[in-house]
């Protein structure tokens, strides 16, 4: 039984316990979940033939989920964020904070769309003021493409220099 990989014969806990008792698996090599399972065993042993409980699952929505959904629905080009960066807030986090501030100020008297537009305008103004204070120019894909094209044209207009490697190393 302990060596069987068939899920119909015992539970994963009973098979792992059998492997440990038989010596096929050493106590030091036991899985991480084994100690947790022993400390907090389930009320009913999880087996393949146990019927699923008939219970209604709660839908969990947070207050800001509707605003987040509206933001990502209208801004699909944002892309992925860096989850390891705790120093700066993501664009979505800044939008939700701005949206919630506006919602508190209006006390829910305005529609989601008007609050969304106001929050986007505030974020754009914030970005523009940050860029002007840093002195950096706005970078977008189209601007970068135009700059690359200009440098290519400048390189084509430049005089061609014919240099051979063999000529450099002649004695």
Domain residue spans of the chain: 1-52, 65-137
Each residue's pLDDT tens digit, 104-116: 888 878 888 888 8
Both tokens assigned to 148: 């690359």
DSSP secondary structure code for residue 57 in this structure = P
Nearest to 72 by CA among 101, 102, 96: 96
CA distance 157 to 98: 50
Q: Please, which pLDDT band fits residue 158 given cuts at 50, 70 and 90?
A: low
Q: Which of 126-130, 146-150, 164-168 has the highest mean pLDDT?
A: 126-130
Q: Which of 64-68, 129-133, 151-155 has the highest mean pLDDT?
A: 64-68
Nearest to 102 by CA among 124, 120, 89: 120
Higher pLDDT, 134 or 83: 83
Higher pLDDT, 165 or 97: 97
- pLDDT of residue 83 exceeding 50, the answer is yes
Each residue's pLDDT tens digit, 24-79: 999 999 999 999 999 999 988 887 788 888 889 888 888 889 888 888 888 878 77
CA distance 76 to 87: 24
Write down the pLDDT at residue 142. 54
DSSP string, 91-158: HHHHHHHHHHHHHHHHTT-S-HHHHHHHHHHHHHHHHHHHHHHHTPPP--HHHHHHHHHHHHHHHHHS
Please state, as a whole number, how many other Cβ atoms lie within 10 Å of the Cβ of residue 151: 10
Least confident of 15-19, 76-80, 97-101, 118-122: 76-80
What is the number of alpha carbons within 13 Å of residue 130 lying toward its C-beta? 6
What dihedral angle (degrees, nearest 10) is formed by the CA atoms of 131, 137, 138, 141? -150
State pTM to two decimals.
Answer: 0.47
Contact present, 48 and 8 (Cβ < 8 Å): yes
- pLDDT of residue 1 exceeding 80, the answer is no
CA distance 169 to 60: 73
């Amino acid at each position: 039984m302990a060596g069987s990989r068939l899920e119909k014969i015992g539970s994963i806990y009973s098979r792992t316990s059998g492997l440990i008792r038989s010596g096929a698996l050493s106590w030091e090599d036991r899985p991480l979940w084994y100690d947790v399972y022993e400390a907090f065993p389930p009320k009913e042993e999880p087996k393949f033939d146990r019927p699923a409980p008939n219970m209604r699952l709660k839908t969990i929505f947070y207050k800001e989920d509707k605003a987040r959904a509206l933001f990502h629905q209208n801004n699909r080009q944002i892309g992925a964020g860096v989850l390891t960066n705790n120093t700066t807030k993501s664009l979505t986090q800044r939008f939700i904070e701005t949206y919630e501030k506006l919602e508190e100020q209006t006390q829910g008297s305005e529609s989601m769309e008007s609050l969304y537009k106001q929050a986007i305008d505030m974020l754009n103004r914030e970005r523009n003021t940050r860029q002007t204070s840093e002195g950096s120019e706005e970078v977008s894909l189209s601007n970068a493409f135009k700059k690359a094209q200009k440098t290519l044209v400048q390189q084509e207009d430049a005089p061609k220099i014919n240099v051979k490697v063999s000529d450099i190393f002649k004695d």
